[in-house]
Structure 1
Amino acid sequence: MDPQQKQPKKSDLLVRSLSSIVLGPPVLAAVYLGSPYSDELIVLSGLILAWEWASLCYRRKIKAPGWFLVVAITGLLTFSAFGYTDFFIPALLSSTIVLYVYTRFVDKDSGLAFWLTLGLVYLSVTTYSLLWLRNSYENGFEIVLWILLVVWSTDIGAYFSGKSIGGPKIAPSISPKKTWAGLIGGMISAAVISYVFAEITELYDPIILSVSGAVLAVVSQMGDFFESHIKRKFDAKDSSNLIPGHGGLFDRVDGLLACSLLVFLIHLVY
């Protein structure tokens, strides 16, 4: 999330809070129940994210390469949800080549070719990471739940510490509201919630998980900055207006996508 606008009014905060209350329980329920419910949620999310990315690139008037992006990401996630994970990498590579070549040499738009193919790779891999983490382990629910808690606690801690303390900005040209105090507050919140989570579940070492939570808080903020850069590139305030008070889905899950990718890569290595 990137609050580039002025400080939210109380009415805006109320709308945002209500949206979170309405959307939170179904998301948690789907993650808890697992396949096929979590699969359907992630596939639908991938479709929406792809549409938002294409809308940003084309400034809401999506052309054929943008729709190819939507279809490709949805198809990759759907096949993966049905267990055809071996085809994910070759299908992604093929789709990326087709999208880039068509946009670069047929539409003759080299700049847009880069951003569309970047969207295809980034959104496919990050949403696939969530799908893989939930379905590949007995404690897949706990892993995904921990990531969600870290991202949410980072946002809350960063908001309140940044607002109350203020101080130097991290990258004012990209996200003028983000402060170092907010980042530190988010890291502390993520570390605390991770420690409590480890104590309750007894599945992880509390110290290791709390340190991991603080690291993920930084990664979550990096995801925020990445999305902010994209929106500034295409002169957009929000990725869409799907969620009242929040903007689009990408505005809500930018940090989640980045964190899921890192946790996925760590699990692949270890």
Structure 2
Amino acid sequence: MKQRIITAIVAGIPLVLLVMVGGLPFTFLSIFLAFIAISELLKMKKTAYLSPPGIIAFLLTFIIVMPDDWYDQIFIYSNHKIDFFLFALLLLLSLTVISKNRFNFDEVSFVLMSSLYAGFGFYYFYATRMMPEGLPTLIFVLLLIWATDSGAYFTGRAMGKRKLWPEISPNKTVEGALGGVLSAVAVSILFQLFYPLFDFTTAIMIAAIVAVFGQVGDLVESALKRHYGVKDSGQLLPGHGGILDRFDSLIFVLPILHLFHLV
């Protein structure tokens, strides 16, 4: 516990400051976090960073996470990032032939899905902060995620009896999950009383979506780690694991909120 608290303070203060500052420093932070996330995924798969699939994964992640105006200025002959995604797909499929199937279709899928997961997750982390009301919106979502985690933990400890999904995360309970949702809704109402960012109906809807899909994102990361037989996604944050361990809910939730135009 002591190690977790020290890490939270040492890593949390610079993160909060960069969130507050925004602009170019926050853009670089988002790119850095996306790079760490894709490196953790490649390490789980035991794919070398400097192998052709590893290099393609890093490049594709960078192209996805970079700001749109950067993309427009650098790649003036390309209309959309999907162009590079399709090019990467064809290149990776070609590698299955060149390697005589030592690099196979499943690994092609892993590279593409990992790049999308890390790239778009942190792209929307950046995009949310750069909105006109980006700072309070991002703080609102972060508070909802923390409220969900805390509510689920304490409710599960106090009342948890029915396992939520023991094959993936044996400690999570149905009661804890419901407690997380209620905690997020309560925090959203309190936030609205002090800073009316949305109308109450929208705020509660966002809280419910964040709480539910934030927990799904956590389970997705747990399933991924269980599949590859690792305890944590990385060791960057002692006592907390890796970047994916800490941001799994956030990078799952933000694309969904943008998809439904709720932020």
**TM-score normalised by length of structure 2:** 0.88
Q: Report whether the alignment pairs 1:90 with 2:83.
A: yes
Task: After TM superposition, give the deviation of residue 102 of structure 1 in Å.
Answer: 2.5
Alignment of 1:167-178 (within 5 A): 167-178=161-172
Alignment partners' CA distance in 2, 1:109 and 1:205: 50
Match for residue 6 of structure 2?
18
Alignment of 1:233-252 (within 5 A): 233-252=227-246
Query: 1:11-59: per-residue Cα shift (whole Å, max 9, x none)?
Result: xx22112211222222122122211121011000001001001111117
Go from structure 1 to structure 2 and tell me whether the alpha carbon gap of 1:71 and 1:207 turns closer, same or farther (over 3 Å shift). same
Go from structure 1 to structure 2 and tell me whether the alpha carbon gap of 1:22 and 1:172 turns closer, same or farther (over 3 Å shift). same
Query: 1:169-206: per-residue Cα shift (whole Å, max 9, x none)?
Result: 11111111111111011111111111112222222113
Go from structure 1 to structure 2 and tell me whether the alpha carbon gap of 1:82 and 1:109 turns closer, same or farther (over 3 Å shift). same
Match for residue 139 of structure 1?
133
Is residue 54–residue 66 contact of structure 1 (8 Å, CA) maintained in 2? yes
Match for residue 6 of structure 1?
none
Task: After TM superposition, give the deviation of residue 158 of structure 1 in Å.
Answer: 0.9
Alignment partners' CA distance in 2, 1:105 and 1:180: 48
Query: 1:57-97: per-residue Cα shift (whole Å, max 9, x none)?
Result: 11778743123212321243235473639633322333344
Alignment partners' CA distance in 2, 1:245 and 1:123: 22
Find the residue that maps to 1:176 and give its secondary structure.
strand
Alignment partners' CA distance in 2, 1:103 and 1:159: 45
Task: After TM superposition, give the deviation of residue 105 of structure 1 in Å.
Answer: 6.0
1:162 partner amino acid: G
Match for residue 10 of structure 1?
none
Q: Report whether the alignment pairs 1:102 with 2:90.
A: no
Find the residue that maps to 1:170 and give its secondary structure.
strand
Q: How many residues align?
A: 256
Alignment partners' CA distance in 2, 1:175 and 1:60: 28
Is residue 157–residue 182 contact of structure 1 (8 Å, CA) maintained in 2? yes
Is residue 192–residue 203 contact of structure 2 (8 Å, CA) maintained in 1? yes
Q: Which runs of 5+ in 1 are unaligned?
A: 1-12
Find the residue that maps to 1:267 and give its secondary structure.
coil
Alignment partners' CA distance in 2, 1:262 and 1:235: 28
**Matched residues, percent identical?**
29
Alignment of 1:218-237 (within 5 A): 218-237=212-231
Is residue 47–residue 53 contact of structure 2 (8 Å, CA) maintained in 1? no
Match for residue 206 of structure 1?
200
Q: Report whether the alignment pairs 1:119 with 2:114.
A: yes
Alignment partners' CA distance in 2, 1:220 and 1:104: 39
Alignment partners' CA distance in 1, 2:145 and 2:161: 22
2:111 partner amino acid: L
Q: Which runs of 5+ in 2 are unaligned?
A: 74-78
Is residue 191–residue 214 contact of structure 1 (8 Å, CA) maintained in 2? yes
Go from structure 1 to structure 2 and tell me whether the alpha carbon gap of 1:250 and 1:19 turns closer, same or farther (over 3 Å shift). same
Find the residue that maps to 1:237 and give its secondary structure.
coil
Alignment partners' CA distance in 1, 2:71 and 2:18: 18
CA RMSD in angstroms, aligned pairs only? 2.3
Match for residue 24 of structure 2?
36
Go from structure 1 to structure 2 and tell me whether the alpha carbon gap of 1:34 and 1:168 turns closer, same or farther (over 3 Å shift). same
Alignment partners' CA distance in 2, 1:195 and 1:43: 32
